[in-house]
């Protein structure tokens, strides 16, 4: 998404027990070392209950707030391509 190879869309990681280690690694390793921006963690949502996904997706496409998902910016795309901020 950040390099414009994909259009932004909601990504859900279902199962907190399963995915929490990876998300923690994103936060503690990638974000702390500047490999990703801390707000890149808003490119996806971690959840257990899939019942909220359909309404969340509708809100994503209908609202300016995109249901809490981050929409990559031009700055994000430059960083992802190896450029500076």
Q: Write the pLDDT tens digit of every residue in 32-68.
A: 998 888 888 988 999 999 999 999 999 888 887 787 8
Secondary structure element (H or E) that encloses residue 12, with its range: strand 12-14
Domain that holds residue 30: 12-80
Examine residue 28 and state whether it is found in any structural domain, yes or no: yes
Question: CA-to-CA distance for 6 and 23, rounded, in angstroms?
Answer: 21
Examine residue 2 and state whether it is found in any structural domain, yes or no: no
The reported pTM is: 0.74
Examine residue 57 and state whether it is found in any structural domain, yes or no: yes
Tell me the two tokens of residue 37: 């921006």
Examine residue 3 and state whether it is found in any structural domain, yes or no: no
Condensed to tens digits (0 to 9), the pLDDT of residues 68-80 reads: 888 877 887 777 7
Examine residue 4 and state whether it is found in any structural domain, yes or no: no
Q: What is the pLDDT of residue 12?
A: 95
């Amino acid at each position: 998404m950040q390099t414009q190879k994909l259009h932004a869309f909601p990504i859900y990681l279902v199962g907190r027990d399963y995915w929490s280690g990876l998300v923690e690694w994103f936060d503690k390793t990638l974000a702390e070392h500047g490999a990703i921006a801390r707000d890149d963690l808003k490119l996806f949502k971690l959840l257990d209950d899939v019942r909220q996904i359909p309404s969340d997706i509708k809100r994503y496409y209908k609202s300016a707030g995109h249901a809490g998902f981050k929409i990559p910016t031009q700055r994000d795309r430059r960083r992802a391509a190896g450029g500076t901020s």
